[in-house]
Structure 1
């Protein structure tokens, strides 16, 4: 890596420990500073070409893709592309989302009916791709000479207006035999669109039941087409062309080498075609995915985080309140459990152990699912650790447990983030080995801490003031009341 990349990585490593309020204030300021950028271009006359993306409803991640689409549109506008920015949105997309795209982001929104997916009953069909055939509406944008159709998980490193010089259909083969439909160039045609709809009705072969399989089947000869090289004189080409890999760089290539070295074509666009829960806009994407921070940097510079900051602040106040209340109530909070009972003491002890263990497990899982998914990674991780500490403090003060052993899993998670964020790995293999070695070294510490927590819990349960021992003399008449 170059010295500049190492400095940036070292900076990221240092800012991981910023407090939740400092990051929240910075995010709010960024949101306010960039709020007016999206309105540019609303009065711009219609251009000859367009960058297009699509939105539809019906998945658990509709809001996340809405945010991703807005960041994509604004990042293209920020690059100064000479093209219209179009969003093909189904009629069930909320009207206030459409208004935000049009009035704040400067996009042209084209409303469409969802295309029925005739492949939804085939054996290998993935339900999350049910409405991806709406992408075919790109061929119906006949107001434009060329359209670059995009998925919302594309990260642009530079503008790619030379793509509008490509032919009737152009795409990238990130798989040796199958081109990817996360980015492709097309010449809109009502005739082609109508023919595609006809092919849907008669059931053209589609290996995956989604847009990828259908478009791949519709253009089966692209693999034998020539490589696209933009003419110097700016003229548009005819026919089909393969796009160089640099126009659709699979992020997994980067994770293997931790640098880009694509020999063919400009390194212009990064795509994230992996698991849906590892998309770059999720706060846990960094440092698990090194490129996640680059996507969030684009969002910080364009859309900002104003939508998520209020929820972050509310959760922060609640967590701080939990920490304060449980600390002040420590002398009395455990007495809620210390009633005289006619049941077996061992049964009560077992039940209390289960409650204690589950409360600790909840401390490391519940905050993860409460944090808004699309906040900045630094803000998300800070809020996660704050929530974990708050819930752990409840278990510690209720069951009189030692604080440090209970917090060992959180300390281990924090350490793993530092290991993954270390900026000087030679390649992704060394990074993976470092994470594995760290986990191997931490395993004995985690086991020792678990043993200590269980031992201390047993001691607390057997204390006379915590639970009366069997065989003791009957307590006074007021014992049945809470202390």
Structure 2
């Protein structure tokens, strides 16, 4: 019996120790060690590199792209091919906050950088060739940062060795293509670079287009046919609607075409969707920002937005309070030397008005939401215009006429009832044609009012006098 009691104590002690060890192991497993990510057969990949004035903007765009895929719970890994000079804090954000796998690479030397038609902003785009080194995956969808996913497109992984969407009958776009990773293909591409293979634009678009010259004749996906099986491969028909420098990429896979799955914005450099001024020039740009609002947010830009708003409001208040003091200034009669001064003041006044409409574009954070960006732009333009209005005693409405015209054009472009892009463009041109006489009339009125003010000697104060003389001109 005593032995039985002793054994019971041993068993109880053992169980207690075991429970403690299990608790420690569980705590360590879930709090001290990161669980390994689930491995997938396929991957969505994009790339990041440094060396342009827009590095931060493309970093934000890359995160929004990754988050759009995470939100859809795609059945694939998310890979970012990042050059070694990408900041570590950006890499950590992509890995820890966005759930992406980051592949650090050395920049591929671009042998075409000295050819005549080369655009320097494409110097490092050949890093996209590293996608063929992702041999852990069966298929990779390679993406530029200016893509936004609205629906799952995992059917893309059923393509052959290389698939791409054609932007015209002869050229496919490398902003979105599908490939089968292969070290042999990657090595051959590098060899072709070193031997000076022809490249019409010196960038990835031209090189990959020349490397796969017969894609149009291959049984891969492109506009013809409707999901028929050929030689063991499927064709994936794509529908396009070109409009305002972007296109809808409508993916169909042996089923009737549904809503657009991917929005690609391959247009002009300064009309990418993350720029606040790109909407409503690009109508679908607002969807990009809505996706960012729901995923990444705008916390990084908010402090400077608040500071600029306070500064603009302060300028409006200060210039308004200073106006009575300005209007009481007294001025001396004209002399022979004032003609040149009048001309200089006229130029300063005109340029100050122009600056009021240009400066906000340069100082407002580029990647904020369009509604916030345009609101801050109008506030900034009003604030800077008020300096010219109160300093040169100009009429308010004519000075603000361009601002009213810009606001009207935004309303015309943002109208959601246009049946297509052609009608929308005609509406914008029609509005511009109708508003042009109003804008010209406001310019004439501002210049004439400025001329009258200068002829009344209003900008040449009498110096060395303690009190205003009789008969002096006043500004009202």
Is the structural similarity TM-score above 0.5? yes
Gaps of 5+ in 1: 1-40, 230-235, 469-473
**Distance change >3 Å, CA 239–CA 371, structure 1 → 2:** farther
1:359 aligns with 2:352: yes
Partner of 1:111: 104
CA contact (8 A) 1:101 1:107 kept: yes
Q: Deviations over 1:185-214 (max 9, x none)?
A: 112112221121111111112121111111
Partner of 1:446: 439
SS at match of 2:276: coil
Partner of 2:277: 284
Partner of 1:138: 131
SS at match of 1:284: helix
Partner of 2:368: 375
1:298 Cα shift? Answer: 1.1
Partner of 1:79: 72
- Aligned-pair Cα RMSD in Å: 3.0
SS at match of 2:388: helix
CA contact (8 A) 2:244 2:281 kept: no
SS at match of 1:54: strand
Partner of 1:22: none
Partner of 1:24: none
Partner of 1:182: 175
Partner of 1:100: 93
Among 293, 300, 324, the residue aligned to 2:286: 293
1:329 aligns with 2:318: no
The higher relative CO (CA closer than 8 Å, separation ≥ 6) is in 1
1:131 Cα shift? Answer: 0.6
CA distance in 1, matches of 2:163, 2:247: 28
**Distance change >3 Å, CA 147–CA 366, structure 1 → 2:** same
1:426 Cα shift? Answer: 2.4
Partner of 1:319: 312
SS at match of 2:403: helix
Partner of 2:340: 347
1:59 aligns with 2:48: no
CA distance in 1, matches of 2:65, 2:106: 23
1:241 Cα shift? Answer: 6.8
1:45 Cα shift? Answer: 2.1
**Distance change >3 Å, CA 66–CA 333, structure 1 → 2:** farther
CA contact (8 A) 1:170 1:240 kept: no
Q: Deviations over 1:363-401 (max 9, x none)?
A: 010011111111111011000000000001111111111
CA distance in 2, matches of 1:225, 1:415: 49
Gaps of 5+ in 2: 1-33, 223-228, 469-473
CA distance in 2, matches of 1:224, 1:67: 37
CA distance in 1, matches of 2:199, 2:361: 38
SS at match of 1:86: strand
1:165 Cα shift? Answer: 2.1
Q: TM-score, normalised by structure 1?
A: 0.82
1:140-159 to 2 correspondences below 5 Å: 140-159=133-152
**Distance change >3 Å, CA 475–CA 103, structure 1 → 2:** closer
Q: Deviations over 1:287-337 (max 9, x none)?
A: 111111111111111111111111111110110010011111112246789
CA distance in 1, matches of 2:156, 2:438: 55
Partner of 1:309: 302
CA contact (8 A) 1:167 1:237 kept: no
SS at match of 1:89: strand
Among 393, 398, 423, the residue aligned to 2:386: 393
Q: Deviations over 1:77-120 (max 9, x none)?
A: 00010111100000011111111111111111110000001111
**Distance change >3 Å, CA 135–CA 241, structure 1 → 2:** farther
Larger radius of gyration: 2
Count of equivalent residues: 427
CA contact (8 A) 2:43 2:77 kept: yes
Partner of 1:253: 242
**Distance change >3 Å, CA 369–CA 240, structure 1 → 2:** farther
SS at match of 1:329: helix
Partner of 1:35: none
SS at match of 1:44: coil
